[in-house]
Amino acid sequence: MTNTERAARTRANLVLAAARRFDRHGYDGTALNHICAGAGVTLGALTFHFRSKAALASAVVDEGVRALQRIRTARPDTGRPLHDLTVLVLQVAGALQHDVLPRAATRLVEEGHVDSGWPGIWRAEVLRLLERAFVTGDLAPDVRPAAAAHLVMHVVEGAAHEARRAEAGGVWVASDVAEVWHAALGGLAAHPR
């Protein structure tokens, strides 16, 4: 293994170890020595790759948001807005439940420690799909797209919160996000499926 490959592996291990700590304890509750222990490196190795805890948190957000962006951009547009919204919601919620990088990224952004455009991009995409559903008559006539977008945000944030709580307790309690989403969708759709 070359020095470049070893450095890349060390950096990736640090980002993952930091994501685990940030996800569980938040930015303020995470100490660099705990990240080093989780990655199996010295503080010197950490500071070689990241000049500060803030720079490391920024790297975690970059990686986590990249994973969420891949979901958003890879999703095909079927022309059925509520179907497309369902696919998007379930994939993003699944990533937040099962991948610590996006979950830690969202926590760091929510806490205000790292600035990211992801929340705005995510909300805009959700709102765009809901507005299309309203125009096509797929959204119930008494449901405003902005209010529905707010509900979607709560469903997805709830999935992330539940996953974080389950991991902190050392026990995974699988939530059926699909069931919760379909119950919410029943109240949003003009013609419940």
Classify each residue of 97-118 as buried b or exposed e, where b means 16 or more C-beta atoms within 10 Å of its C-beta. bebbbbbbbbbbbeeebbebeb
CATH of the domain at 48: 1.10.357.10
Is residue 92 a part of any domain in this protein? yes
What's the predicted TM-score (pTM) here?
Answer: 0.87
pLDDT in tens, 132-168: 999 999 999 999 999 999 999 999 888 888 888 877 6
The whole domain housing 22 covers 3-188
Q: Phi and psi dihedrals of 114, rounded to 5? A: -135, 135
7 within domain boundaries: yes
Per-residue pLDDT, 109: 94
Confidence at residue 171, expressed as pLDDT on a 0 to 100 scale:
52
DSSP 138: -
Is residue 193 domain-resident?
A: no
pLDDT of amino acid 179: 86
Residue 137 lies in a domain: yes
- 135 within a domain of the structure (yes/no): yes
In a domain, 151, yes or no: yes
Beta-bridge partner residues of 139: 189
| Segments of the chain with pLDDT less than 50 | 172-173
Q: Which two tokens stand for residue 60?
A: 């975690």
Q: How confident is the model at residue 24, as a pLDDT?
A: 93
Measured CA to CA, the distance from residue 92 to residue 160 in angstroms comes to 10
**Structural domain count of the chain:** 1
